[in-house]
Amino acid sequence: MRKSRVKTKLKNNEPALITCLHLMDASVYELVSIMGFDGIWVDMEHHGHDMGTVNHMMRAARVGVSDIMCRPAKGEFMRMGRMLEAGAHGILYPRCDDATEAREVVRWSKFAPLGTRGFDGGNPDMPYCMMDTVEYLQMANDETWIAVQIEDQNSLENAEAMAAVEGVDVLFLGPSDFSILSGVPGKFDHPKLQNAVEKIAQAAKNQGKHWGMPSGTPERTKELLNMGAGLICHGSDIIFVKNALEKIKEQMGPLGFTFGE
């Protein structure tokens, strides 16, 4: 089993940087991983990716060094085991309400005695029955990591209790949904969002855990790092492509080219 790059950095109090990939092209996963990013965020909450396709993307990422952080939908506890068996190191669990739900995430993601994750062994994470079972079970518990997402005011109030759950490694703010559910959609500089960041940072510190969130700019990332953030997500392949295409339109439009609306 591969050691986790993200978990190693967090243990050493070094910041870990991940980026989000939406396009299901193995070469993109391979490229990001070869370039040395700490992790790749694969979103199976909002997108229609099937587990077989995601398995191939994870396989491509193993050419390099990147962890895979995979996000199921809320309540998809059994699916988390298949994500880990396919080679994910991290589970990003959305809309976590409280410590009770956080303990369920741990229960389904960790082998005994931390949880009740089912054993197979014939998958990429072991890999393919090539490790001693006891060694594998211990390494899987040690090298996989769990981030629970805080996306509304209720879960924010329960942040410290969630951080206190054994097996939870990271509190992770979902700023888009938090802003929408707080009545200030898209206003990421609103005091409600800043208050959430501060409360999550304090909750993680109080329990000796890590915290993180997406960040849109280097300037914002510096602010978050100064507040103690350990896991930062920056960028997305969809946005990279969109920005490049908009640049082409901006540069070529004055030359007489027109674009359909």
pLDDT category of residue 199 using cuts at 50, 70 and 90: very high
- Sorting pLDDT into bands at 50, 70 and 90, what band is 230? very high
- For the chain, give the mean pLDDT: 97
Tens digits of residue pLDDT in 153-179: 999 999 999 999 999 999 999 999 999
- pLDDT at 75 (0 to 100): 97
Residues 16, 231: Cα–Cα separation, whole Å: 5
Structural domains of the chain sorted by starting position, each given as residue range(s) with its CATH number in brackets: 5-255 (3.20.20.60)
- Mean pLDDT across the stretch 128-143? 97
Q: How many of the other CB atoms lie within 10 Å of CB of 97?
A: 16
3-state secondary structure the chain: CCCCHHHHHHHCCCCEEEEECCCCCHHHHHHHHHCCCCEEEEECCCCCCCHHHHHHHHHHHCCCCCEEEEECCCCCHHHHHHHHHCCCCEEEECCCCCHHHHHHHHHHHCCCCCCCCCCCCCCCCCCCCCCCHHHHHHHHHHHCEEEEEECCHHHHHCHHHHHCCCCCCEEEECHHHHHHHCCCCCCCCCHHHHHHHHHHHHHHHHCCCEEEEECCCHHHHHHHHHCCCCEEEEEEHHHHHHHHHHHHHHHHHHHCCCCCC
Tens-digit pLDDT profile for residues 109-135: 999 999 999 999 999 999 999 999 999
pLDDT band at 97 (very low <50, low <70, confident <90, very high): very high
Question: What predicted TM-score, i.e. pTM, was given to this entire model?
Answer: 0.96
Predicted pLDDT of residue 238: 96
pLDDT of amino acid 83: 98
- pLDDT exceeds 90 at position 261: no
In angstroms and rounded to an integer, the radius of gyration of the C-alpha atoms of the chain is 19
pLDDT tens sequence across 11-55: 999 999 999 999 999 999 999 999 999 999 999 999 989 999 999
Amino acid identity, position 232: I
The crossing angle, in degrees rounded to 10, of helices 99-109 and 77-85 is 40
Q: Are strands 39-43 and 170-173 parallel, antiparallel or unpaired?
A: unpaired
Round to whole Å and give the CA distance between 41 and 103: 22
> Beta 16-20 vs 231-236: how paired, if at all?
parallel
The percentage of residues in the chain with a pLDDT greater than 90, rounded to a whole number, is: 99
Nearby residues of 78 by Cβ (< 8 Å), 6 or more positions away? 108
